[in-house]
Structure 1
Amino acid sequence: MRTGRAAIKLLRYRPGLFLLTILFRGADDLVPFLTGLVMKAFFDTLTGDAQAGSNPWTFVALFIAVEIGDRIALFGSAIVWPRWWYAIESLLRKNLMDALLNVRTPRRISSASGEVTNRFRDDVGAVVRYLERYIHLWGNLIFAALAIAWMARINVMITFVTVIPSILVVIIIDAARKYIYQYRTAQRVATAQVTNFINEMFQAVLAIKVATMESNVISHFHRLNDGRRKSTLIDNLFEQLLRSINQNLGNVATGVILILVAERMKSGDFTVGILPSS
């Protein structure tokens, strides 16, 4: 079954919880945009650039209302999101258990108990984390569309500089996809080898004692753990490298934006409220 089709089937398992989670999380994702608009209007009223009839206390009240609404959305998400998460996890583990009980050659499974453990623990969590991205997808898309449209009304060049880092991050992640798969697979294989050996070691305790092979078993266990340590270190290091590139591109873009905004403010094109909101 393809990834997209499997994801749709899982999302349809508890559609009510999923839709409510999207609603609450989407509202939380849109709050920064609303907060920016309120802050812009607030600073404009202080400098006399606001529309007639507005005053700072109006926007202070709006800011408080937005923050209260955000807390209500987060509280609702805290109620429905864990229920959805554990429902999907329980379904996946139940299906895995049913599949194990129906296997015709159980010896093959008993010799790979470490891999089975990884499937129940790590793979299930990875699948649910992948599905969770659909929760934030809609809110982030709406937020990005509104933010880009609003910024384009202010200045097209600054908007273009803001979007460039996101495009570069997508290109870099796509180019590193092969290495992400390679390092993650190596880490999972090394983890399965360690857990399999632990299972075999406990099953053969008497044989190890009779043959006085304790030192050899411990040495082999150390080698497996060292291999797991190296593969995990490489995987985590590569992941942190990608995160660092993402964050630093954003920081560089923020610096360039501030320089451009400062030039526009000096020429009188921007009001004071535009700078905090962007």
Structure 2
Amino acid sequence: MTTFQYLWKLIAYRPMRYTLNAVMWTLIYLAPIAPGLVTKEFFDTLTGHAKLDYGVWGLIALLMAAAIGRMMLIIIGFITDVNFRFRMSMLLRRNLLEHVLKQPGAQAIPVAPGEAISHFRDDVDQSEEAVSWSVDVFGLTCFALVSGYILIRIDAQMTLLVFMPIVLVITAAQLATVRLQKYRAASREATSKVTGEISEMFGNVQAIQVAGAERRVIERFARSGDNRRKAMLKDKLMGELLDSVFSNSVNLGTGLLLLLAGAKMRSGTFTVGDLSLFVYYLTFVTQFITNVGKFITYFKQMSVSLQRLTFLLQGASAKVLTMARSLHLKGEEAEPEHEVAAAAVAPAPLEKLEVNGLSYAYPDTGRGIHDIHLTLPRGSFTVITGTIGSGKTTLIRSLLGLLPTGEGTIRWNGVPVEDPGTFFAPPHSAYTAQVPRLYSDTLRNNILLGQPEAGPESLPQALHAAVMEQDVQHLANGLDTVVGPRGVKLSGGQAQRTAAARMLVRDAELYVFDDLSSALDVETEQKLWERMFERRREATCLVVSHRKTALARADHIVVLKEGRIEAEGTSAELLHSSPTFRELWHGDERKA
């Protein structure tokens, strides 16, 4: 997609709003035409060259009316501009976020979260700015055409001096294109890096302190900050240089205009009213010339923003950014009813989940899982176990669509699952990751994540099943306690049980636990599984664990080694047949 196509598609998202905005700002920029003519008549009246007989006070009244009228137009213009700009920027962020959320977890974004925030914020704002300035340029162009026609009828030579700087402005902007884009790209890249480092530092405070790496981290951040300063300085200087060219070229035209006007007024071919009209219009022509230069600058910078936003799409077409979608604003069209209805249909109860030939290899290392076959009957409790690096988490993430599609098939009640990443979500399945992801919000909001409570007992029941009720009672504000970034105010066990409560508060056919009990003591883990079975008697569970409590309860155990199934069966069978399982079983005993 070219930059012009990108600009046009953003305009076409809400064409009526853009047109209304363009009309309003065209009227705002055309509004000075009338006061200019009134001003000319005012000075001609004072010098005895008036063509109209309104009198001085009549002309003053007209000027005041024109000023009030323009003020009202500007107020309306700001309203139309804000409404269009908001929808345009929200469309870009909505489409970008939707695309990111649909990607497998391992490929959601190709950069650090802090850098991604820079793309969402700065590059979207830059795109919005360029489109908005196109309205100003159109309105000022209309003013330039109308005022140019009026001025040419008075004196063509003088008019040429007024508009001559526009040639210098466009030439300067075109010559600076390549360097301008280079500096803007470097500035954005440096800003993204600094933002990413801030995010990483805040997310790893404890690790930095334990390693005693505060000084090294600060030095690295200082170097990144200095690089950003240099890149932004070049970008800013280039922008200021262009602005200087724009403004000084106008001043050159103004000086020539005054010199020539003096000679013409002595010869009697140019009145004081004519000079006042030229000077009055010159202010707005100056704005036109400057805005044309700025729009060209913004348009060039928009191409950099388009490249950076497209990079986040990771190979998807740039058309994804500008696809017309509902923003769910009051008075705007909603999503098609059939999509809402489809999302509301309850899933068929899980009778049997079949996994055949599931394989995935990480591109960098080639390691992963190979030819995995699993069958999970309804109500079964299946445990995936194995040594570190055997592929347990990779198997779970491949099954749930959190890794890019590899080989193999997945069937839900005999029906192939085409898109696991979309399918394996509540109410089909609920999942607790190996590392709980908590937010700096209340405990309640971390568990519900925006989901309305099904009833007054749904949240307490989930807390009880996750063995979390006693912890909540001891927190200062109970469920309304803010847990801090990534749940730093909670212990490791509390964080894992919070994640379990988040999963259990959602009704699902399949529950997937990835090493949930790794930070729990034996007694707490025992309670968790007991309550899980009490609460979800018919639920199908797939559990990653090497703990004896889970292994002893399992209907079926799958032992992985180097990404392949080494053995499977009950704990009693595997103690006789699998050396790996015996090592895991007795290793857990030794730890206990």
CA distance in 2, matches of 1:131, 1:111: 27
CA distance in 2, matches of 1:252, 1:145: 21
8 Å CA contact 1:44–1:273 kept in 2: the answer is: yes
Residue 15 of structure 1: aligned partner: 15
Residue 173 of structure 1: aligned partner: 173
CA distance in 2, matches of 1:248, 1:23: 30
Q: Secondary structure in 2 aligned to 1:12?
A: helix
Which one is further off, 140-149 or 45-54?
A: 45-54
Residue ranges of structure 2 left out of the alignment (5+ in a row): 279-592
Question: How far 1:46 sits from its partner (Å)?
Answer: 1.8
Which one is further off, 105-114 or 59-68?
A: 105-114
Are the structure 2 counterparts of residues 14 and 108 from structure 1 closer, same or farther at C-alpha, using a change threshold of 3 Å?
A: closer
CA distance in 1, matches of 2:273, 2:63: 14
CA distance in 2, matches of 1:231, 1:146: 42
Residue 212 of structure 1: aligned partner: 212
8 Å CA contact 2:39–2:273 kept in 1: the answer is: yes
Q: Secondary structure in 2 aligned to 1:63?
A: helix
Query: 1:1-278 alignment to 2 at 5 Å?
Result: 1-51=1-51, 53-104=53-104, 106-107=106-107, 109=109, 111-278=111-278
TM-score by length of 1: 0.93
| Superposed CA RMSD | 1.8
Question: How far 1:8 sits from its partner (Å)?
Answer: 2.5
Are the structure 2 counterparts of residues 105 and 52 from structure 1 closer, same or farther at C-alpha, using a change threshold of 3 Å?
A: closer
Q: CA-to-partner distance for each residue in 1:84-138, whole Å, 9 max, x for gaps?
A: 1111121111111101101235356275212211111101111111111221132
Question: How far 1:35 sits from its partner (Å)?
Answer: 1.6
Are the structure 2 counterparts of residues 213 and 53 from structure 1 closer, same or farther at C-alpha, using a change threshold of 3 Å?
A: closer
Identity of aligned residues (%): 36
CA distance in 1, matches of 2:154, 2:125: 43
The structure with more helix, counted as a fraction of residues: 1
CA distance in 2, matches of 1:140, 1:46: 31
Are the structure 2 counterparts of residues 220 and 108 from structure 1 closer, same or farther at C-alpha, using a change threshold of 3 Å?
A: farther
Question: How far 1:23 sits from its partner (Å)?
Answer: 1.9
Q: Secondary structure in 2 aligned to 1:269?
A: coil
Larger radius of gyration: 2
Which one is further off, 248-257 or 54-63?
A: 54-63
Q: How many residues are treated as equivalent by the alignment?
A: 278
Question: How far 1:42 sits from its partner (Å)?
Answer: 1.3
8 Å CA contact 2:100–2:108 kept in 1: the answer is: no
Which one is further off, 97-106 or 211-220?
A: 97-106
Which one is further off, 29-38 or 224-233?
A: 29-38
Amino acid at match of 2:96: L
Which one is further off, 133-142 or 212-221?
A: 133-142
Q: CA-to-partner distance for each residue in 1:147-205, whole Å, 9 max, x for gaps?
A: 22222222222222222211101101100111110111110111111112222223333
Q: CA-to-partner distance for each residue in 1:56-84, whole Å, 9 max, x for gaps?
A: 33322322222122112112113222121
Residue ranges of structure 1 left out of the alignment (5+ in a row): none
Amino acid at match of 2:29: D
8 Å CA contact 1:45–1:54 kept in 2: the answer is: no
Amino acid at match of 2:255: G
TM-score by length of 2: 0.45
8 Å CA contact 2:41–2:52 kept in 1: the answer is: no
8 Å CA contact 2:101–2:108 kept in 1: the answer is: no
Q: Secondary structure in 1 aligned to 2:31?
A: helix
Which one is further off, 66-75 or 222-231?
A: 66-75
Amino acid at match of 1:133: W
